[in-house]
Amino acid sequence: MTPFALDPQALHGCFVTGTDTGAGKTHVSAALLHWCAQQGWRSAGLKPVAAGTTLIDGRLTNDDVQALRQVSSVRLTDAEVGPLQFEAACAPEIAAALERRLIDPATILSAALHVASRADVIVVEGVGGFCVPLGPDWDTADLAVALGLPVILVVGLRLGCISHALLTAEAIRARGLLLAGWIANTVDPDMAHIADNLASLHHEMTRRHQTPSLGVVPWLDTATPAAVAAHLDATALKRVFTASPSYRPSSPEKTT
């Protein structure tokens, strides 16, 4: 069930999901924001639901929210990037229950529209995998449908990634969403037969879903947004961000 929905023309950008927790969604989302800013677009990150905070200088901070906020070319507050942040580093529905809070769809809707009003493109990072419960009757797949953005799938390269990727791709397309592309991210530097796994992923994602690869990110000791972005396919990314009829980047001016 999708409990709410936006006008399909309301947002422009992408929704980043992953094959699992730890697939590299935040590194890729930050890299996409960096790449968008390099195109001269006002770019803004949004992490609608974030679980796991650390007390730093007297305030609770979420690493993913910080990563997206720091690389956004539009100046945003922590609350704007991460409207729903929870202390416990666990499944978001459980983290919310521990604080006797709800993950409210209306809050996310309002946050998305607010951030989008200040930017040419937004990069929305999901939480965990694609079908993570956010309440008793909705999940992150419903959130993606409600936002209506093209989906970029981050495939964490580890044993089992081929099945995880294909199952997630099927779930995305079953909900009527555009699977705009996939990005392989090396999370296990010692993974055996990486080249063969990549070849299989390319073949199956093309055969089953006609979905292009947007890049292959190797193991990086320092995965800065610029370093990750260097391994993305700029030509393919431009097609993703300009294909939508709501494409509207209009000014190279950077808001600081």
Q: What is the CATH number of the domain that holds 91?
A: 3.40.50.300
What is the tens place of the pLDDT at every residue in 89-127?
A: 999 999 999 999 999 999 998 999 999 999 999 999 999
What is the tens place of the pLDDT at every residue in 191-232?
A: 999 999 999 999 999 999 999 999 999 999 999 999 999 999
Phi, psi angle pair for 157, to nearest 5°: -75, 100
- Please indicate, yes or no, if residue 8 is contained in any of the structural domains: no
Only one residue has tokens 């069930």, namely: 1
What's the N-to-C CA distance of the chain in angstroms?
Answer: 39
Domain assignment of residue 33, given as a range? 13-242
Selected catalytic residue, list 25, 47, 238, 254: 47
In sequence order, which residues have a C-beta less than 8 Å from that of residue 51 and are 6 or more positions away? 62, 85, 86, 88, 89, 90, 91, 92, 95, 127
- Please indicate, yes or no, if residue 41 is contained in any of the structural domains: yes
Q: What's the rounded Cα separation, in Å, for the pair 53 and 98?
A: 14
- Please indicate, yes or no, if residue 248 is contained in any of the structural domains: no
- Please indicate, yes or no, if residue 156 is contained in any of the structural domains: yes
Residue 118: what residue type?
R
**Alpha carbon 97 to its chain's center:** 24
Question: Quick check: is 254 catalytic?
Answer: no
Domain count, the chain: 1
- Pick the closest to residue 213 from 228, 224, 203 (CA basis): 203
- Please indicate, yes or no, if residue 172 is contained in any of the structural domains: yes
- Please indicate, yes or no, if residue 2 is contained in any of the structural domains: no
- Please indicate, yes or no, if residue 249 is contained in any of the structural domains: no
